[in-house]
């Protein structure tokens, strides 16, 4: 049944999003700093990027995937440097500034940063390509509707995970004092910087 493909994509979306990495940590830090909506919007940026990569893999757009993989060094450099910048920014952010930013509805920037960061990891497309190939969904001319359902499922599954994560994190937000929030910013900032440095050091030039 076609609907089963949606649920397969749904499970794939959750499984791709669930491992806590720099994006997950950034979502948690933003939820604690600026509220549940900011954390959710951050997660939806990552979910949208997952949907883009799943679209490329599901519809067999090999010329795009090959280009992304060939440019992985540049993507790694930009993504790693951007992570380091976000980590430094989180480390230096003061709780008073966060109270102001909470009422700043610049959700476009919040969404865009996680969307961009997720896209700078083109190796993700290999995961989707492998999964979709195993399901017989790649390079088929007769299953565009089925592939589309799976892509929607991936977005919905990934989005649900970010909703749960931001919602769960927000439960602890009111328990944080300004002093504790300073340490949350510092610790999360250091970890995000480490992720960024690891990404830079892991780059393999041809």
In the chain, where the domains are located:
2-201
- How far is the C-alpha of 85 from the C-alpha of 88, rounded, in Å? 5
Block residue for tokens 């600026």: 34
The vertex-66 CA angle with 116 and 119, nearest 5°, equals: 10
Average pLDDT over residues 27-38: 84
Q: What is the pLDDT of residues 35-44, one digit of tens each?
A: 888 889 999 9
- How far is the C-alpha of 125 from the C-alpha of 14, rounded, in Å? 15
Q: What is the pLDDT of residues 90-143, one digit of tens each?
A: 777 765 444 444 444 577 888 988 898 888 876 666 666 666 666 555 554 446
- How far is the C-alpha of 26 from the C-alpha of 135, rounded, in Å? 32
Task: Decide: 184 and 54 in contact? Cβ < 8 Å.
Answer: no
Burial code of 75-89, b = ≥16 C-beta within 10 A, e = fewer? bbebbbebbbebbee
Give the predicted TM-score (pTM) of the model.
0.74
Farthest CA pair distance, the chain = 58
Question: Per the structure block, which two tokens stand in for 70?
Answer: 């060939």
């Amino acid at each position: 049944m076609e609907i089963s493909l949606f649920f397969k994509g749904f499970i794939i979306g959750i499984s791709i999003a669930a491992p806590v990495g720099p994006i997950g940590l950034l979502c948690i830090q933003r939820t604690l700093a600026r509220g549940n909506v900011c954390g959710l919007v951050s997660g939806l940026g990552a979910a949208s990027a997952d949907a883009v990569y799943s679209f490329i893999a599901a519809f067999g757009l090999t010329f795009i995937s090959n280009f992304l993989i060939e440019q992985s060094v540049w993507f790694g450099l930009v993504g790693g440097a951007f992570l380091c910048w976000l980590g430094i920014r989180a480390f230096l952010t003061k709780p008073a500034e966060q109270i102001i930013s909470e009422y700043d509805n610049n959700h476009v920037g919040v969404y865009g940063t996680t969307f961009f960061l997720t896209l700078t990891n083109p190796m993700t497309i290999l995961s989707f390509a492998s999964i979709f190939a195993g399901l017989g969904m790649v390079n088929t001319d007769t299953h565009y509707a089925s592939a589309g359902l799976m892509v929607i499922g991936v977005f919905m599954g990934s989005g649900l995970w970010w909703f749960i994560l931001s919602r769960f994190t927000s439960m602890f937000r009111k328990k944080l004092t300004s002093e504790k929030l300073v340490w949350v910013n510092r610790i999360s900032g250091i970890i995000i910087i480490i992720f960024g440095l690891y990404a830079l050091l892991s780059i393999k030039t041809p």
